[in-house]
Structure formats: structure tokens, C-alpha cells
Amino acid sequence: MSLARVALRIAAVEALRGRTRIGANVLDSQIGILDVAGDGGLRTDEDRPFLAVYTDAGKSEGAEARNLRENGEIDLVFVVGVMTALTEIDPETGAARLIGLGLPGTDAAFEFLLDLVDRQITAVLTDPANEWSEIWRKLVDEVVRVVRRRDASAGDADRLAAREIRLTVKVKADPLINAAQAEGSVWSKFRAKLATDRPELAAEVEALFGTAGADLAPFDLQRMRGASAGEARALGFAPHDPADPAATIKAGVVAGGPSLRAP
């Protein structure tokens, strides 16, 4: 299930970058973005307001046979944070304001920023004109629940306000490894968009797809179900003689004919 998790996270990051009040500081799986200090307060090393995106817990139940491609539900987590250290003095008014944002450096302004970015996240992910958002939506079959949690540090040092938005989503199954992707499918669109926008990541992600994309028929259905060779032959979706790729399958599919690959 690693491919769908990667695609889901990258699509969200790319869709959001530069499209919220946070600007370009959208982080992919930034480990330790929020730390708990010895006094119980929150700490971060970020020197500007940030939006971090993670894929967290996942659960799949009731998978057919030994189908390990099913992703089931995945938690996609957004963490928005801002610190009092990220303020400057307005030369005209003498009041503190958030650097680069123009908002007052007050607790109320911090909360407003978190609410604003929260709303912008939902707006971006449902934006029909955003190509990365469209890929994100095609990966997600259903939003199961949305949980929002507030974190804050209110010590004498720099204060930190943060918001966690946790989306539990039902995600499409991973494609078969090494399988060619149908033109127009979410996986082909994801690969093409990644190659254009993030070429430095594209080669790494290609390793998750496998090789160049061989046609796996007539073994597609066997891989989809995770069936043993004996089970596949008995059920009629594998050649009687695996050494002979031209052998006719009992179900009537002949090697070289239409693939049984899942979309």
C-alpha cells in the first residue's frame, strides 16, 4: 500500500504549495516539525508559518483472498503552525505583526490564521481548476471523517499555535507492480504530472511502479487476488502450464488477449 500513500501525500503537497496564506512553505513529511519540550510546551525549528503534510495510520479490512494491494482507510494529516517569534514591529503603528503576512502578532490573529488556512486547505483540495487537486480527488474514494485538534504552547518563551487537521480517507488500491497503466487513469496522470512538476522525485516514485510496464496478462488476476499457482489454475485464471505463456485459460482468456488488469 506504499504507492497510494506516496501519491496521496505528494498530490496534497503540490496542490497546496503557494495556494494558501502559508505560501510556499508546505512541507512533505517533515519529521519533528512539532516537538514537546521538557516543560510540556511545543517547540518548532521553523522560522516562518508552516503547513506540513503527513500520511499516518492506515487500515484495510475484508480484502479479497490475499489481495495486499487494498489500501482501505488512510489518515492524511495537515499540521499548520505559527510562532510569536515570527513577528516584527510595524514602523508606523509600533505594533507587532506576523512577518510576511501583515496580521497582528496577537493570539487572536494566530487563531485567525489557523482558521483561515484550515478553510483554504479544504478549498484547494476541492478546486476543479487545480490539476494536483484533481489527482488527489481521483485517489480518494471517500472522506470517512475529519478531526481537528488545536495545539499550543503558552510559556514565557516564544508561543506556538498549531492546528492538526486529520482526514481519514478511503483510497484506491495500488496498481499491480510492473503493470502498464491505462491512458487517462489516475496513475498515468500522476506519473506524467510528477515528471513535469517534480522531476527530481519522478525517478524515485517510478521504482514503486516497478519496471517500464510490461503486460502481465494472463497472470493479472492471479496477482490481484494473491492466489497460489494451484488456486489460480483450479479457478481458471492462470495457464494450465505456466511454462507455456500461450496456454489457454479455462475461463476462455488467451495469453496476448485482453488483460484482466484492474483499473
H/E element, 9: helix 2-16
Mean pLDDT of 101-110: 62
- In this prediction, residue 138 has a pLDDT band, given cuts at 50, 70 and 90, of very high
**How many residues belong to the chain?**
263
Domains and CATH numbers, the chain: 2-174 (3.30.70.1700), 215-263 (no CATH)
Q: In what order do the strands lie in the sheet with 73-83?
A: 26-28, 50-59, 73-83, 160-171, 140-153
Cα radius of gyration rounded to whole Å, the chain: 24
* Residue range 185-196, pLDDT digits in tens: 999 999 999 999
Mean pLDDT of 113-130: 94
Cis check: omega of the bond before 218, within 30 degrees of 0: yes
* Phi, psi (rounded to 5 degrees) for 251: -70, -5
pLDDT at 1 over 60: no
Set of cell numbers at residue 96: 507587532
- Residue 206, SS3? helix
* Residue range 151-177, pLDDT digits in tens: 755 554 456 678 899 999 999 988 877
